[in-house]
Amino acid sequence: MKTSNWKVWLLCAALLQALAAAPCAAHSGSVSWKKWTFDWRVANSAGIALRSLRYNGILVMHEGSLPVIRVKYDGCTPPCGPYRDMITWDKLVEISNCGGVKVCTREFSALGKQWLEIGVYARIGKYHLYQGWYLSEDGVINPFLFSKGLHHDFNHIHHAYWRFDFDLNGLASDRIFESNDGQAMTEYTVERNALKETATNRAWYVVDNDKTFGNAVWISPRMPNDGASNSFSTKDAAGRLYHDSEHEPWPFPVFDHLGYDNSESIQKTDVVFWYVSHLFHDHADSGSQWHVTGPILSLWNYPP
């Protein structure tokens, strides 16, 4: 799915409108909305995670989460970071325009369709972070991170690491493909790291075993505010084999990026797809402007 820039900004504007939702006070819960059902939880230092996400009764993800946001300032040496931010329950604040709750859900209209939002608002130092999931009635998943605030008066980048543990159709036998210009499909047969490529509209395709007919999800960059990797955050995407021991709070030191790369096979097995957004923040706005990033996940070959 490709979304024009004006539609991206229209959607972002809609998401930043005042929230009006039913309250949720626990650290976990369940939601059923139109064709979507899922559990949510705030745990494991990974923000608000969606678990057992199903569309029209068919499993899409075992869990999607945001384990870390790595922040690097430009031209400012320590003590100006870098930072390794993780959204935990104790960092959440009550959302005043959502009934004073810490987990906000609401339904709204944008781009001619209905959406469900579930999100949390965290304060980490001087940063304001709103992490949300936006599900459309027709099978689009938008994981968003909104950020504003400055620790230091320098430009910086928030590198957001999204973890998607797909279990398409409930089977641990998925495959990852890389797509260029929507056609040149290259399978990732072993654990692998990848970069975005705007010239070829690179995207990724995770499918239930069969490349052509299985239930699938497209993962696409959200241009123009998706950013690019650099020497501090060297990856844009990665395929990994699922291990219980690797489903944990972010274990890597502040200067280290994503690990878990053991060259293991990821063909027709339980795969984890990592996606990294690189959110640039210009210090000229004095930290008062919200910035937003996150990939686009589009279901394919799921029953309408």
d(CA 192, CA 197): 16
Q: pLDDT tens-digit profile of 252-297?
A: 999 999 999 999 999 999 999 999 999 988 888 877 888 899 999 9
Q: Which DSSP string do the residues of 46-100 spell out, in sequence order?
A: SSEEEEEEEETTEEEEEEEEEEEEEEEESS--TTS--EEE---GGGB--BGGGTT
Task: Give me the mean pLDDT over the 51-73 stretch.
Answer: 96
Q: Which residue from 259, 239, 98, 222 is spatially nearest to 175, judged by alpha carbons?
A: 239
pLDDT for position 211: 59
Per DSSP, which regions of 86-229 are E strands?
103-110, 113-124, 127-136, 140-148, 156-166, 174-180, 184-187, 192-194, 203-208, 216-220
Task: Report the 3 state secondary structure along 227-252.
Answer: CCCCCCCCCCEEEEECCHHHCCCCCC
Percent with pLDDT over 70 in the chain: 90
Q: Quick one: residue 205, left, alpha or beta (phi over 0 = left, psi -120 to 50 = alpha)?
A: beta
pLDDT at 17 over 60: no
Sign of CA dihedral 283, 288, 294, 298: negative
d(CA 56, CA 44): 28
Amino acid at 222: R
Q: Whole-model pTM?
A: 0.89
Q: Is 117 helix (H, G, I), strand (E, B) or coil?
A: strand
pLDDT for position 22: 38
Q: pLDDT tens-digit profile of 222-254?
A: 877 788 899 999 999 999 999 999 999 999 999
Q: What is the largest CA-CA distance in the chain?
A: 52
Residue 101: DSSP 8-state? B
Structure tokens at 170: 């409930």
Q: Which residue from 256, 227, 235 is spatially nearest to 193, judged by alpha carbons?
A: 235
Structure tokens at 119: 């999100």
Residue predicted with more confidence, 93 or 21: 93
pLDDT for position 205: 93
Query: Hunting for tokens 């899922």 — which residue is that?
Result: 38
pLDDT at 55 over 50: yes
Banded model confidence at residue 19, pLDDT cuts 50, 70, 90: very low
In terms of DSSP bridges, do strands 28-33 and 83-85 run parallel, antiparallel, or are they unpaired? Answer: unpaired
Q: Which residues contact 139 (CB under 8 A, 6 or more apart)?
A: 35, 55, 298, 299, 302
Q: String of b and e for 260-280 (b: at least 16 CB within 10 Å)?
A: beeeeebeeebbbbbbbbbbe
Banded model confidence at residue 212, pLDDT cuts 50, 70, 90: low
Residue 283: DSSP 8-state? G
pLDDT for position 297: 97
pLDDT at 76 over 90: no
